[in-house]
Amino acid sequence: MIAVSIATVTLKTDRPRDVARFWCDLLGYRVAPNHSDSVMLVGDSGPTLLIQPSMSPPTGSATPSGPPTRRPARLQQART
């Protein structure tokens, strides 16, 4: 088995300071000193969050495509 860890997660937004405040409050992270328009958040555990300014419109979709299904999906517990 190979161990994998995520060091940094990058987010792009037109309001990096507001988004940073949200994630700090949610995760208990703090803003690291930085000399750019980006905001870097660090915590005692977990990946670093890098929030970069972006004025371009978002791409992709936040919701799955296709018609809605009649029944909601259910998570199934793996059998051991």
CB atoms within 10 A of CB 34: 11
Q: CA-to-CA distance for 74 and 76, rounded, in angstroms? A: 6
22-79 tens-digit pLDDT: 999 999 999 999 878 999 999 998 999 999 999 887 666 555 566 655 666 666 666 6
Residue whose tokens read 């750019």: 36
Domain ranges of the chain: 1-41
pTM assigned to the model: 0.65
